[in-house]
Amino acid sequence: MTGSIEAMFRVDGRTALVTGSSRGIGREIARTLSRAGASVLVHGSRESDALREAAAECGAVPVVGDLTSPQGVEAVIRTCRERGVDPDILVLNASVQRYVELGEFDEAEFQREFQANTAASFRLIEAFSPAMREKRWGRIITVGSVNQLRPSPRLTLYSATKAAQMSLTANFAKTLAPHGVTVNCLVPGVILTDRNTEALKDAAYREKVRSAIPVGFFGESSDCAGAALLLASDAGRYIAGIELPVTGGMHL
């Protein structure tokens, strides 16, 4: 690869859809892709001030769809089609999770998490990868979790949906690589977002979690954004089918 260091990481002329980008990690990834030159579609489960603000940051029009239902997933696909957008970069970041103790198994919760965290990823890749193949350029980044590598008893369902998503990632990676499309999984550790604010309010629990992170501190959403840009840009063109832990070593 030739050219400047900066050019390696530019994504000018590319269009990106980042699911779950109204807040947290997805918002930071959307902002970073936008700063690196992409036109970004920002997505949330519903209309909200956070979604409007995130979209404004990227100069984007928001896309809405609740991924816990197949209809919500189709709404996202339909909106993109109506706007004539075929994303070159697809970041599958939105997910749902609930702490469930053994003995509290709940069929509805299983369906909800499997639909949002695994089935939605399958459907969105199925919908958007053909245009990437035609263009012979595409980047698909699934967002997993350290829990797909490291068991967490109260997140058994969530961990299983993320591990299944990794299996999809590996299979799609092998299928799509010959067509110029890379598929990889970015695996966050504990990143300070709305998702874990409540759980980390308990000082003893917070210290227990922090002390299990080899670098000794919690991650920020921006820690995931650089890794996403690597996978999305030409700098990452030879990376296919990996799990990239952004965990401060917590997966070890």
Ligand X SMILES: NC(=O)c1ccc[n+]([C@@H]2O[C@H](COP(=O)([O-])OP(=O)(O)OC[C@H]3O[C@@H](n4cnc5c(N)ncnc54)[C@H](OP(=O)(O)O)[C@@H]3O)[C@@H](O)[C@H]2O)c1
Q: How many residues bind ligand X (CB under 6 A)?
A: 32
145 in contact with ligand X (CB under 6 A): yes
Which one-letter amino acid corresponds to residue 244?
L
CA 25 to CA 222: how far, in whole Å?
A: 7
- Work out which of 34, 66, 155, 166 binds ligand X, going by CB under 6 A: 66
Any catalytic annotation for residue 158?
A: yes
Q: Do residues 133 and 179 touch, judged by C-beta distance below 8 A?
A: yes
244 in contact with ligand X (CB under 6 A): no
Cα–Cα separations (whole angstroms), residue 2 to 7, 8, 36, 52, 198: 9, 8, 18, 38, 47
Cα–Cα separations (whole angstroms), residue 129 to 157, 174, 191, 229: 28, 13, 29, 19
- Work out which of 36, 146, 149, 229 binds ligand X, going by CB under 6 A: 146
**CB of residue 85 to ligand X, shortest distance in Å:** 18
- Work out which of 58, 190, 228, 242 binds ligand X, going by CB under 6 A: 190
Q: Do residues 157 and 110 touch, judged by C-beta distance below 8 A?
A: yes
Q: Do residues 226 and 8 touch, judged by C-beta distance below 8 A?
A: no
Q: Which residue is nearest to ligand X (CB)?
A: 24
Binders of ligand X among residues 80 to 99 (CB under 6 A) are 93-97
Piece of the chain touching ligand X by CB under 6 A; list 101-109, 125-133, 141-149, 205-213:
141-149
Contacts to ligand X by CB under 6 A? 20-26, 44-46, 48, 50-51, 66-68, 93-97, 116, 143, 145-146, 188, 190-191, 193-196
